[in-house]
Structures are given as C-alpha cells and as structure tokens.
A and B are shown apart, each in its own frame.
Chain A
Amino acid sequence: MTTHGKPIPQDEPVVVVIGSGAGGGTVAHELAAQGVKVVVLEAGPYLTADDYTNDEWPAFNQMAWLDMRTTSGSYRVARDFPNLPAWIVKAVGGTTTHWAGATPRFMAHEFAARSTYGEVEGANLLDWPVTLEEMEPWYDRAEKAMGSSHRHGRPPLPANNNYKVFANGAERAGYTYYATGPYATNAEPYDGRPATVQDGFNFQGDKSGAKWSTLVREIPRALESGNAELRPLSQAVRITHGPDGRVDAVEYLDADGNLHRQATRAVCVAGNSIETPRLLLMSDSPSHPDGLANSSGQVGRNYMRHLTGSAYARFEQPVRMYRGETMAGIIADEAVHDPSRGFVGGYYMETLSLGPAFLASFVEPGSWGREFTRLMDAYAHTAGMWLVGEDMPQESNRITLDPDVKDQWGLPAPHVHFDDHPNDIAMRRHAYRAADTIYRAAGALGVHHTPPYPATHNLGSCRMAADPADGPLNGWGQAHDVPNLFVSDGSVMTTGGAANPTLTIVALAMRQADHLCELLRTGEL
C-alpha cells in the first residue's frame, strides 16, 4: 500500500481521522500541527491537479462517490437519480476538490432555530449548543485559512459574464446585498497559491490550485508536520470499542479488500453526512445495539440537503456563463428570517453554470422534445443561478442501512430517505419567483425552474445537541455516549442555516481540534 507522510504503526494508538474532506482534512491538519499523531483513512485515491480534467463527465466519474446507494421519499431525486442521492467526492480532499468556493457565514439566529422560528409542525428544530458569538473567532480563522475573498484584506474576484447578468438583474430588482463573494478562490496570489485563470471548471477539481481545498492546503501541511500519515484507498468499515466504553480501533479495507486494524486513542469521523452515520450504524455492538453512539436513536436522522433549485434564463444576447469562476456571485437579501413571506428561514442566490452534458441531464430530468431542446439551443445565451437555503430537519429524513442492497464490499448500502417539508416547498416557490424577477429585470426572454440536483450539501444526520436525548453529539462534536469519539464533518449541524456549509464545517473542525488537543493534554483522553 502506498502511504504518505510519516509511517505510523498500526498498533500505536493515535488519533484516527476518517475522511480527508472539509472536516477531516482540517481536523487532521490542526491536530498534526499541534503535535498530535494522526492517521487519516481516506476511502478514495490520492489524485492531484495533474489528474484532474477540464471535462465534466470524466471528472465526475473519476472522483464522485458512485458506490451503491438507494433512495426513497417524495423528493424528485428518488425518481430521477435513484442511486445517486448525493454528489460527494471519494478522493483525498473529499468534496472540497469539487466544491465551488462560496463561503458565507451562518447568522446568529440560525444557531438558535428552535427559539427563533418556534414550533414548526413536522420539523425537528433545535437550537445549536454553539452560538455565533462563540464561532466568530473560528470563522475568522477559517476565512483566513481558506483565503475567502472580500474578507481580511482579500480582494474581490472580478465580474464574469454570468455575474454581470445576475448583479444587473439584482440591482434593477431592488436587491442591495450582492457581490462576487465571499469566495475561497484567489483573485490574487495568496498563501502559496496562484490567482485564478478563470478556467470555469470549479466542479471538476481545480488544476491551477487557486481554489482552496484540503487537498492543496491542509493535507500536505499535515503530512509535512511529520505527525500524520495518510492512507488513501482505505475505507473504514467498523469502529470498535473496549469494555471501558472507549473506542479502541478502526477496521478498514484496503484497495484489495483486505481488512486492517488501526489502534486509536480517539477517532474523528468525517465521511460526509451519508457515510458518517452509516459507519456508526455498522459499528453496533452488544453495548451499542442500535449503532455506535446512538442511545438517542438520532444517528442518521435529521438529514438535510438544503433547499436547492436553480433557474436558467435565456437572453437575446450571448452570456457564455461557463467562462470563469462558477459561483462567484452571491445575493444575500433573501437570506433573512422573515415569516411574512410564508416560511421560516431564508435563502441565498448564487451564480451557477453547467456544461451542456450536465445541463442536459439536470435542467429538467427526463424531459425531451422541442421544449427541452429549446433550452439547450439557447446554451450560449443562458445565465444560471442556484437557490440555496435552509431546509427543515425532519426525523424521518434519514440515513439507514439498506437491508437488501449491498455495496461492492458486501456491506449494507446506505439508504437515503427524504421528503420535502412544506416550508422547503414554500421557500423554493418564493426563490423561483425571486429568480424570475431578477432575470426579467435584466431582460430575460424566459426563465426555466430546475428541480433539486443530487445533494451537494449534505448536513445533519449526527446532530450536535445539548441534551443527549436530542442528538448523538455535544457542542464539540463529541459523542455523548463515547468520550473519545468525535464527528468532524457536516453531519454535526444541528440545523442547516441558509449559507453554504463548508466555511462552517471548517470553523467547527478547527474549534473541535483545539478542544481535542486540550483533552489530550490534560489526560482526559
């Protein structure tokens, strides 16, 4: 097996980080930088910029998590893409290799959704055990690490063509809070990385390195520290614990399916919101009969995927939306809690562009005929935006182990059940109307409303909750039931907020790493 970094014996109990994406890469780097020995297990291969391609399908097939998954529920993804509930990357760097880069913060009230929104029927709202005030210094650190534009002296990105349409429409429609960021791609060289060449392939892995990802920053730095070993093509399949109730090892499969065992002092699970609960559920034992750390019964529940929806507008004149930074355009005016709109929570609008093959697949799944080809014929004259907002946590939106379907290792495939909440539907309707208003104001000939894609934002499913009865983790992402077990990825989110999640995931992981170091230093772990 090819290893990276300083080799660590399998019988040496170290901190094991499972997953190398936004949460895992960050926690591994922070721990290693503070002198803690870390083994990072990553299910996917170690691919770098040279491997990436400026081509949608090959890039997707090269890196997306395509192991068997199943779906159910009333959401359209279950019908259109029954085995692809989510777009998640299986490679070193995780989904930060394919992410776009938008980095808005959560707002104060979003950390207190239950007390702000009140009781929303059918929703399982809860206040976070963390406040914005506590998060602010970590947000600052995360923005500096990621190089967010518009923050801490980082300049804004210039306007690409898609943004020009978007921002002009916003201005004419009466919106105020629009800009080309915050966005974690360099407008000018920063942190050893170059400025963007506006190649337009954000979702395919960035060949230039202008875009932040844990692949370009946290992972190499963790390895350089001499305290970390990265094992790619190593999929964790079970976390075991001793009679004292503490986790003591992680079992994982290498590329050939051979089982290995790494001893642990503590474990940080960061496999993204479908694999993280799956792994805990697969790690059941006589003392954890419903899955590890699941005395609350909440592991896998309250899965969120954000509002999502997109709008594509046709114009008389060319736009060429695909040129340049894909999502460097954000309107924040509707990211407000204003129940007079008929729903709680709010949403952002962000520029978006897909190439022809992705647009054809996702713009109106299953559609064909003249109506459909009219959309495609207008490709060069099309502008696009994404609608992203807070969806309601629901107990029944849930990751479980499929009793019938197995993955390529013979392990139970994760099953994703998702129904839209009426609040999600009302918000989406409002957002589509806002998109119409913006694009019509910029002169659109027509606007097409595209249904949600496979989820790029996967949240919840192992929520932090002050009361152990409400969720498996405390406010540090530490399991209520198991003191040396942590979750370090987007699964920890108590509620979803309107903002894209990665900045918050990174800030939380930094905060958790500091806490974990403290526990290690004081001998509590």
Chain B
Amino acid sequence: MADKDSATIKRDTSSALRGGPAALTSRQRQVLVRLLRVAYPHDSFPDGPYERTADAVVEATADDRRLAATLGPDLDMLDTICGGDFLGAPDEEATLILREYADEPYFRQIRGVAVVALYDDREVWDLLGYEGPSFDQGGYLHRGFDDLDWLPDPRITEFDGEPRTEMRTPEEDSR
C-alpha cells in the first residue's frame, strides 16, 4: 500500500496554503478513479490500486487549498463534457477528453501525485514483477541477481588487449 508520507516528490508548493483535503461527493470520487484508470491504463490492474491512488490524490489536496476547492468542480466538468457521464464514456473518448485537458493545473497536479502513489503500491509491484526490499532475505545474491539465461555470459573483466584510445584528432588515423 502506498505509504502516505512517502508519496511526495518535491513540488512547488511555495504559493500554496495548507488546509483540509477536498471533500468529494461519491460521484466525484468515482470520476476521479475513472480518470486515473484512463490516464494510467493497465489491463492487468484491479480497482484496488486506483482506489488507493485516488485516496492519495485527495489527501494531497490538503497541501493546496485552491486545489482542494476546485478538484470537485473540475471532476464535475468531465461529466458535463461527456454529455453527463464520464464513467460511461468509452475509453477512447475519455482519453481524448483528458488529452484536451492535459495541461490544466488540476490534471497536472493529479498526475504528479498519482504517478508516485500508483507505482509505489505493493500490489502494483507484484503485478509488474518487482520484488522490492531484499536485504532481510540476503539480497538477491541467492535469489537470481544473475539468473538471466537467454544471453551468453559476458566478460566481466576489463579488456586486456590494447589500451583504449582516449583522444582522436583529425590528423591522427585511429581505430
């Protein structure tokens, strides 16, 4: 699960003011989850990671009162543009709509939080095949750090023939 404190890359919050997190209606929250799915489409991901990412987005709005106040209306707007139902719009149409809004501050800020929260999620790690912490299991030393077998084993020592040319000027004939 995404650690709340950890899902923060340094953002420019110099002009922002802390307050409470956005209070979304349940419809707005559903739109947010759908937005995240459309923005970061992974066929193999269940709802859990997107739901938790939505939580992280809502939580992060506490850092920025303006965003906390505008997130709900911005999500409503997606419904409006889709003729009332962003949830029911086909993926392709939903993606096109988001493309139009790619540079809007709200969507940029959502992405800033989501890209960390979604991929810092343990369930997502499993789905992507990332095994994460390893030190307490003895590292990957006996757990496959060198188990790639579809290529021949390469040389690991430095080349022991001619020393490397470090400089070539037009006059010199090289290589």
Instruction: Using CB atoms and an 8 Å cutoff, list the residues of chain A in contact with chain B.
Output: 53-58, 61, 66, 68, 81-84, 107-109, 116, 150, 156-161, 163-165, 167-168, 170-171, 176-181, 196-201, 207-208, 317-320, 322-324, 332-333, 335-340, 355-357, 359-361, 366, 368-370, 372-373, 376-377, 379-380, 405, 442
Stretch at the interface among B8-16, B58-66, B70-78: B8-16
**Cβ distance A322 to chain B, nearest Cβ, rounded Å:** 6
Instruction: Using CB atoms and an 8 Å cutoff, list the residues of chain B in contact with chain A.
Output: 3, 5-12, 14, 39-42, 44, 95, 98-99, 102, 108, 111, 115-116, 118-120, 124-125, 128-136, 138-141, 143-148, 150-159, 161, 164-170, 174
**Cβ distance B168 to chain A, nearest Cβ, rounded Å:** 4
Most-contacted residue by chain B among A68, A164, A201 (CB, 10 A): A164
Which residues on A sit within 8 Å (CB–CB) of B102? 368
Q: Is A380 in contact with B130, judged by CB distance below 8 angstroms?
A: yes
Q: Is A167 in contact with B166, judged by CB distance below 8 angstroms?
A: no
- Knowing A156-B157, A373-B41, A376-B42, the reply to whether A324 touches B115 (Cβ < 8 A) is no
Q: Is B153 in contact with A159, judged by CB distance below 8 angstroms?
A: yes
Which residues on B sit within 8 Å (CB–CB) of A181? 158
A369–B129 Cα distance when bound, in Å, is 20
**Cβ distance A135 to chain B, nearest Cβ, rounded Å:** 15
**Cβ distance B170 to chain A, nearest Cβ, rounded Å:** 7
**Cβ distance A220 to chain B, nearest Cβ, rounded Å:** 21
A118–B136 Cα distance when bound, in Å, is 53
Q: Pick the contact of A160: B111, B145, B157, B169 (CB < 8 A).
A: B145
Q: Is B40 in contact with A372, judged by CB distance below 8 angstroms?
A: yes
Q: Is A369 in contact with B167, judged by CB distance below 8 angstroms?
A: no
Given A54-B133, A338-B168, A360-B116, 12 more contacts at CB 8 Å? A61-B8, A66-B10, A68-B14, A107-B166, A156-B158, A164-B148, A165-B148, A199-B141, A207-B135, A324-B139, A361-B9, A370-B95
Most-contacted residue by chain A among B120, B138, B151, B170 (CB, 10 A): B151
Q: Is A373 in contact with B159, judged by CB distance below 8 angstroms?
A: no
A171–B129 Cα distance when bound, in Å, is 28
- Knowing A159-B156, A199-B134, A360-B115, the reply to whether A82 touches B12 (Cβ < 8 A) is yes
Which residues on B sit within 8 Å (CB–CB) of A207? 135
| Majority DSSP secondary structure for residues of A touching B | loop
A163–B155 Cα distance when bound, in Å, is 10
Q: Is A356 in contact with B119, judged by CB distance below 8 angstroms?
A: yes
Most-contacted residue by chain B among A318, A323, A379, A380 (CB, 10 A): A323
Q: Pick the contact of A373: B9, B42, B143, B147 (CB < 8 A).
A: B42
Q: Is B146 in contact with A159, judged by CB distance below 8 angstroms?
A: yes
**Cβ distance A504 to chain B, nearest Cβ, rounded Å:** 16
Q: Pick the contact of A164: B40, B125, B151, B164 (CB < 8 A).
A: B151
Q: Is A167 in contact with B155, judged by CB distance below 8 angstroms?
A: yes
**Cβ distance B173 to chain A, nearest Cβ, rounded Å:** 12
Q: Is A379 in contact with B130, judged by CB distance below 8 angstroms?
A: yes
Q: Pick the contact of A197: B5, B141, B151, B174 (CB < 8 A).
A: B141
Q: Is B130 in contact with A201, judged by CB distance below 8 angstroms?
A: no
Q: Is A167 in contact with B154, judged by CB distance below 8 angstroms?
A: yes
- Knowing A150-B158, A356-B120, A356-B128, the reply to whether A337 touches B167 (Cβ < 8 A) is yes
Q: Is A200 in contact with B140, judged by CB distance below 8 angstroms?
A: yes
A344–B121 Cα distance when bound, in Å, is 44
Across the two chains, which residue of chain A brings its CB closest to B150? A317
**Cβ distance A103 to chain B, nearest Cβ, rounded Å:** 13
The 15 listed contacts between A and B (C-beta, < 8 Å) are A55-B133, A57-B3, A109-B166, A159-B153, A161-B148, A165-B151, A168-B152, A177-B159, A320-B131, A320-B148, A323-B143, A324-B145, A336-B164, A340-B168, A360-B115
Which residues on B sit within 8 Å (CB–CB) of A338? 167-168, 174
Which residues on A sit within 8 Å (CB–CB) of B39? 368-369
Across the two chains, which residue of chain A brings its CB closest to B154? A167
- Knowing A165-B148, A368-B39, A369-B41, the reply to whether A177 touches B158 (Cβ < 8 A) is yes
Q: Pick the contact of A158: B14, B40, B42, B146 (CB < 8 A).
A: B146
Which residues on A sit within 8 Å (CB–CB) of B158? 150, 156, 177, 179, 181
Q: Is A361 in contact with B115, judged by CB distance below 8 angstroms?
A: yes
Which residues on B sit within 8 Å (CB–CB) of A54? 132-136
